[in-house]
Amino acid sequence: MPRFLITSALPYINGIKHLGNLVGSLLPADVYARYLRQQQQQVLYICGTDEHGTPAELAATEHGLSTEDYCNKLHDLQRDIYQRFHISFDYFGRTSSKANHEITQSIYRDLEQRGFIKQKAIEQVYSIEDKRFLPDRYVEGTCPHCSDEKARGDQCDGCGQLLEPYELIDPHSAITGSKDLIIKQSNHYFLCLSKLQQDVGAWVDRHKHWSPLTQGIAKKWLQEGLQDRCISRDLNWGIPLPTDNNEKKVFYVWFDAPNGYISMTKEWAEKHAPDSSAWKDWWTESDDVHYTQFMAKDNVPFHTIFWPAVLMGAESNYKLVDNIKAFNWLLYEGGKFSTSQKLGVFMDDALELFPADYWRYYLLSNAPENSDSSFTFQHFSKVINKDLADNLGNFVSRVSALVSKYFSGQIPKEQLAAYTFPVEMKVQVKELLKDINDNYQQCNFRHLINCLKKLYALGNEYITKAEPWKILKNDEKAGADILSTCLILIRIMAVASAAVIPTTSEKLFAVLQLTQRPDALTIQDESLFATVDTSIKTDKALKLFEKITDKQVEDLTQRFGAKKSS
């Protein structure tokens, strides 16, 4: 029986994440994991915070905390918020863990032994006032090409030119503004990626099923030719390089972060599996584990080229990824959401505004799958009001009100015994369920939501056309049959939507007074069409979703239009 390993790109520690991070990595991975579990598959879903690197140190300083304390705090905050979004990790770890230190250092030693590490002195900008080497993007100045005064040492956003820090006119530290900068030489360690080009290229070629976005990015890097890549930094915070030279170097965050997937699995096994060595059979190359990663496009080179190269070079026999579900950007006011620039709608604010299921449903309906997509409150309200409030919510509320009113919540047993689900509708629903199942399986989230939407609409249209409220006045049996069909449809909607809107699905089962969980039934299960013997208890109309008003849209657009202030 296959087993499914799932990881979502590790959220960086420098703040509460935004809706872009949610839709570009965490949410789709969660939906896939939930779907597979619902289909009775064995799943391990691993994620955790990515904690090393300069932005973490700077964020800590900004908050007046040591980097370690800051990371502890932000890790807990992030974990809490993912729980509130019902992201169902099997384990949520940290790249700063002891296990990650050990695994990263051991991978490095293998690479070194096998001749894939070289040393080279490089020149870097050192800020005397900051007492630190400055990464290129923390050097700012005037662009020599377009005179933009806000150019960074890696790139000018004004004209798009790639730059070196020494090319800037009037360079200064982006941290303190100090101009007291010198160029210092420092010995650094490089991964010999150029030696691994062929192996990585052949491996990428074998993955023809990857999406055009994933393949396109991987092939572009390969065509340009892989360059040896620096894996060390002169920082205090990070995983120390186990070198013989008497130097204080740490790994560059890109090198240690993905190893976190492995080390977090190790911690999961130590804490939660019956056998603490269970992590090994998830990560050893074998046919029965199918590994899927979720991320947005900026992370694709790291997961298709750099990290696989590291694992191949180390000849570690660690499992390489089978499928990569990559996303484009979710845009906010025409630009990219940004944690460092505090731009966009952040997950904590989002949950204060609306329940998690609103966001989960909307973000997947608008997922940047084939191209970038834009978030607006206007669009958000349109989708929620139409799909969830007008279709799903309205249908369930009409059905429960009628069953309460005409049958005191319980359709008589003798009528249920004589009832069968209408044949024609069964064909239609089965077809939809097949599409829903396929889209879950293939992680086609926009199509998936479209099918769910059709399912909700089908119920609503059926009851509108059948008009049980009229029929019930003269023919109780015919009316009871229509409502029985509706009750079954509610169960089907709950089961089919369970991975996307888990809380709502549970509420639907609660309305039906079903004791099972909606995710305990598989999506194409024949028993979904059996009669629902319920005793609904609603005295007044049930309101599953609150409609979002034009006034709310206006206020929220205004409130979040400017940069987030804190």
Q: Minimum CB separation from Zn ion for residue 166, in Å?
A: 15
Give the residue, chosen from 97, 299, 400, 505, that forms a contact with ligand ATP under the rule CB under 6 A: 299
Distance CA 348, CA 560 (A): 13
What distance in Å separates the CA atoms of residue 238 and residue 252, rounded to the nearest whole number?
Answer: 8
DSSP state of 542: -
Does residue 560 touch ligand ATP according to CB under 6 A? no
The beta-carbon contacts of 215-218 under 8 Å, at least 24 apart in sequence, are: 217/297, 217/300, 217/301, 217/304, 217/326, 218/300, 218/301, 218/304, 218/305
92 scored as a contact of ligand ATP (CB under 6 A): no
Question: Of residues 158, 240, 409, 422, which one binds Zn ion by CB under 5 A?
Answer: 158
Q: Which is nearer to ligand ATP, 100 or 397 (CB)?
A: 100
> What does 327 bind: Zn ion, ligand ATP, none (CB cut-off 5 to 8 Å by kind)?
ligand ATP
Which amino acid is residue 316, in one-letter code? S
Among 145, 382, 386, 426, binds Zn ion (CB under 5 A): 145
Query: How many CA atoms, within 13 angstroms, populate the side-chain half-sphere of residue 67?
Result: 15
Q: Is 146 annotated as a binding residue?
A: yes
**Segment contacting Zn ion by CB under 5 A, of 138-146, 263-271, 349-357, 410-418:** 138-146
- Residue 320 beta carbon to Zn ion: minimum distance, rounded to whole angstroms: 39
Rounded CA gap, 559 and 566, in Å? 13
Q: Which stretch binds ligand ATP (CB under 6 A): 296-304, 353-361, 419-427, 479-487?
A: 296-304
E strand or H helix at 91, and its extent? strand 91-94
Question: Which one of Zn ion, ligand ATP, none is in contact with 148 (Cβ closer than 5 to 8 A by kind)?
Answer: Zn ion
> Is 486 a known ligand-binding residue?
no
User: Of the two residues 9 and 111, which places its CB atom closer to ligand ATP in the complex?
Assistant: 9
* Position 338 contacts ligand ATP (CB under 6 A): yes
Could you say which DSSP state residue 162 is in? B
CB of 294 to ligand ATP, least distance (A): 7
For ligand ATP, which residue of 20, 28, 153, 518 counts as binding (CB under 6 A)?
A: 20
Ranges within 307-366 binding Zn ion (CB under 5 A):
none
Smaller CB distance to ligand ATP: residue 14 or 484?
14
323, 210 contact by CB (below 8 A): yes
Cα–Cα distance for residue pair 230/192, rounded to 1 Å: 9
Q: For residue 169, give both structure tokens.
A: 């006119």
Which residue's beta carbon is nearest to the bound ligand ATP? Answer: 24
| Choices 95-103, 258-266, 328-336, 492-500; region in contact with ligand ATP by CB under 6 A | 328-336
With CB under 6 A as the contact rule, the residue among 7, 16, 21, 95 that binds ligand ATP is 21
Query: How far apart (Å, rounded) are the C-alpha atoms in residues 168 and 147?
Result: 10
Exactly one of 5, 6, 16, 25 binds ligand ATP (CB under 6 A); that residue is 25
Instruction: Report which residue type is found at 25.
Output: S
- Does residue 24 interact with ligand ATP by CB under 6 A? yes
Tell the smallest beta-carbon distance from residue 171 to Zn ion (Å).
Answer: 14
Structure-block tokens of residue 414: 């003798």
Q: In the stretch 356-385, what mask flags binding to ligand ATP with x, by CB under 6 A?
A: ------------x-----------------
Task: Compute φ and ψ for 199, nearest 5 degrees.
Answer: -65, -45
530 contacts Zn ion (rule: CB under 5 A): no
Give the one residue of 19, 47, 156, 367 binding Zn ion; rule: CB under 5 A: 156
503 is in an annotated binding site: no
Q: How far is residue 210's CA from residue 181's CA, in Å, rounded to a whole number? A: 45
Q: What element of type H or E holds 478? A: helix 476-497
Strand 289-296 vs strand 323-327: parallel, antiparallel, or unpaired? parallel
Distance CA 363, CA 375 (A): 8
510: partner contacted, choices Zn ion, ligand ATP, none (Cβ within 5-8 A by kind): none
Q: What is the rounded CA–CA span in Å between residue 112 and residue 231?
A: 12
Q: CB count, 10 Å around CB of 124?
A: 19
Buried b (16+ CB within 10 A) or exposed e, 533-551: ebebeeeeebebbeebeee
C-beta separation of 293 from 9 below 8 A: yes
Indicate whether 62 belongs to the interface with ligand ATP (CB under 6 A): no
Residue 159 marked ligand-binding: yes
Residues making contact with Zn ion (CB under 5 A) = 143, 145-146, 148, 156, 158-159
Residues making contact with ligand ATP (CB under 6 A) = 9, 11-12, 17, 20-21, 23-25, 295-296, 298-299, 327, 329-330, 336-340, 368
